[in-house]
Amino acid sequence: MAGMPIIRGVGLTKIYGNLVALTDANFAVMPGEVRALIGSNGAGKSTLVKILTGAVAPTLGTVEIAGEAAPLGNPRETIRRGVACIYQHSNLAPAMSVLDNIFLGRQPTRWLGLIDRRRQRREAVALLDRHGIDLDLDATVGSLPAVKQKEVEIMKALALDARAILMDEPTGWLAASEVAKLHATIRMLRARGVGIVYISHVLNEIFSVCDTITIMRDGKIIAESAVADIDRPRVVHLMVGEKLARESAQASHQKRHPRGTGEARLRAHNLTKRGVFKDVSFDLYAGEIFCITGLIGSKRTELVRTLFGSDRFDGGTLEVEGQPATFRSPVGAIARGIGFVPEDRHREGLMLNMSVTENLAMAMLGRFRRGFLLSRGRMVDAGRRAISILSIQPPDGKRPVALLSGGNQQKVLVGKWLNRAPRILILDEPTVGIDVGAKAEIYAILRRERELGAAMLVVSSDLEEVMTLADRIGVMVAGRLAAIHDADTTQMDEIVREIGGVAA
């Protein structure tokens, strides 16, 4: 495994506007090495990978492939030089066939650019055989289940016969048997001298198939080690940082309030949505934080959307404060006192070009109405109060939200709902992509709301967060709510096992 790295990044820095995503990262993968890349959400892993594959150009720094400097921000060149990537979000063309997608952009051609269909099919069949994957080459990709779509992505990367393959959360949708197959493929590639980067937050997988590990936090690489020389607790400790590790250790001794005040604000009974989730039942009490956790793809977001009325369920019943509820749109849910902080704050939560004050007021414009008019004065006052309570930095209500840091943006988003004093607050991945300090602030805000008696439902993939915050923990696996635990009587290992789908 000695010699020249197959792909290397030197001094990589990436700044988006005023968000520093990556600082001075030095990263290298040898031929035949499987290097894990780990860090909590927002640590900078995806950014690093995107720079290495040419998807984005770094603000500073260079990339070398097999010793030669590579052009930055040019996916075509990087692919040509033998670097393939399986990105976290699907990059397939859903309306096209599996065969078309495997050779996307690189179909073998005869003269005049006519696609050589026979050769294409021959190569694809050979590829599938070699790796023992079973795919219908003529199926429309969009109609395949997520698991199969991931396999198409993997085939697409393997078809490139690359020297280096980067995988960003490749097992998100996969069941245990599929993960084993993927790992077998990885071992085979390693034996052939391919360098692999494996991003994952599943420690078991990393310890199973990777040789080395790189740990990132807050946009920096903070540690590297051979997998054999490190253990799980140390990895988590490094990932999460001193402060939060201590806090979460402290928090785990904090008093928990499972079932809060005992008043059930929301009752879900056998909620079902065909093809998405089935028979989900739970109760949500005032004065508690109930965290639902699980793998990506366990359909938690889809579930909470139906609670808020932005989607509909097909079967089961929902009761809010004792009254049955069938919400046709968020308008109805909001009227019943439910608030919802969506997962993607940029795409669904904030109006980026509007000011902090306007965003804070967005869910309660009715309160600033005077007849037909909008009282901007009252809006500004309410905004000022919220900014101060939430410590939004900088404390300037007129600033466009796009210019705030991720953590402060999230505070605005949460603040928008807190302004309404909701009876029930649902948050989907509330601290994704924000720094450790802001995370702690948000936790404090949520705990304060809990003291004030709100019923809170938090969807989170971040186990540390779940263990820190939750009074009760629910585990969702592939669309079913597999278990509900009281936080003070549960160990993290148990949760990890349940999430992985291993029967207790």
Partner 1 sequence: MSLGSTTTLTDVSRRLAPHALPITLLAIVIAFAVAQPAFLTPDNLIGIVRQVALIGIMATCTTFVIMTGGVDLSVGPVLALAGLVSFYCLQADLPLAIVVLAGLSVGLLVGLANGAVIAFLQLPPIIVTLASLSMVRGSALIVGGPEQHLIRDEPAYTFIGAGNLFGVPSPVYLFALVALVMIFIQRSTPLGLLVTAIGDNERAADLSGHRTRVTKTMVYAISGLGAALAGIIQSSQVHTALATYGPFGTELDVIAAVVLGGTSIMGGNGSVARTLLGVFFLGVLNNGMNILDVPIDIQLIAKGVIIVVALAMAARGT
Partner 2 sequence: MAQNAVIFRPATIALILFFVATVAFFCVSAPRFATAANMENLLSGYSFVAILAMGQAFPILVRGIDLSIGAVVGFVGMVVFDLTLIFHVPGYMILPLALLVGTLAGVVNGALIVFLKLQPFIATLATLAAYRGLTYSISGRQLRPDLTTTAITDPWIVGIETYFDIGSWLGISKLLPMPWLPLSFVIMLALFAVLQTLVMTTRFGRDLYTVGGNYEAARLAGINAARVIICAYAIAGFCAAVTALIMVARFTTSTEALGTGMELTAIAAAVIGGMSLAGGIGSPFGPAVGAFLLGAVLLGLTLLGVGQFVQQIITGAILLAAVGYDRMLVLRRQRRLTANPADAV
Residue 140 contact, options partner 1, partner 2, none, Cβ 5-8 Å cut-off depending on partner type: partner 2
The entry of partner 1, partner 2, none near residue 96 (CB within 5 to 8 angstroms by kind) is partner 2
Q: Give CA–CA dist 480/231, Å, rounded.
A: 32
Report the amino acid identity of residue 123. Answer: E
Listed residue (322, 323, 339, 320) closest to 331, CA to CA:
339
Does the protein bind partner 1 through residue 358 (CB under 8 A)?
A: yes
**Measured between alpha carbons, how far is residue 481 from residues 290, 301, 347, 501 in Å?**
13, 13, 27, 11
Two tokens, residue 288: 């508690």
CB closer to partner 1 out of 45 and 345: 345
Peptide bond into 394 cis (omega under 30): yes
Asked if 223 interacts with partner 2 (CB under 8 A), we say no
The interface with partner 1 within residues 422-481 (CB under 8 A) comprises none
60 binds, among partner 1, partner 2, none (CB under 5 to 8 A by kind): partner 1
For residue 435, the minimal CB distance to partner 1 (Å) is: 14
Instruction: Identify residues 464-493 at the interface with partner 2 (CB under 8 A).
Output: 478-480
Using the rule CB under 8 A, which residue among 362, 389, 403, 478 binds partner 1? 362
Which 310-349 positions form the footprint of partner 1 (CB under 8 A)?
Answer: 310, 329-331, 333-335, 340, 342, 347-349
Q: Least distance from C-beta 57 to partner 2, angstroms?
A: 12
Q: How far apart are CA 197 and CA 83, in angstroms?
A: 11
For 275-290, give the DSSP string: TTEEEEEEEEETTEEE
Give the CB-side neighbour count of residue 295, counting CA atoms within 13 A.
24
| Contact pick of 105, 193, 377, 395 for partner 2 (by CB under 8 A) | 105
Q: Do the beta carbons of residue 211 and residue 33 sit within 8 Å?
A: yes
Residue 274 engages partner 1 in binding (rule: CB under 8 A) = no
347 binds, options partner 2, partner 1, none, Cβ within 5 to 8 A by partner type: partner 1
Site for partner 2 in 379-398 (CB under 8 A): none
**Helix 146-158 crosses helix 117-131 at what angle (to 10 degrees)?**
110
> Which of 18/177 has CB closer to partner 1?
18
The least distance separating partner 1 from the CB of residue 28, rounded to whole angstroms, comes to 25
What string marks each residue from 43 to 72 as x (binds partner 1 by CB under 8 A) or -?
----------------xx------------
**Taking CB under 8 A as the rule, does residue 351 contact partner 1?**
yes
Using the CB atoms, write b or e for 117-132: b if 16+ within 10 Å: eeebeebbeebbeebe
Single out the residue of 410, 431, 273 nearest to residue 350, CA to CA.
410
| Angle, CA of 216, 221 and 227, to the nearest 5° | 70
Q: DSSP strand E in 322-434: where? A: 323-324, 338-341, 369-370, 373-374, 424-428
Residues that bind partner 1 (CB under 8 A): 15, 18, 20, 59-60, 308, 310, 329-331, 333-335, 340, 342, 347-354, 358, 362-363, 365, 369, 372-374, 376, 416
Residues that bind partner 2 (CB under 8 A): 53, 55, 75-76, 78-80, 85, 87, 90-97, 100, 104-107, 109, 112-115, 138, 140, 142-148, 156, 175, 274-278, 478-480
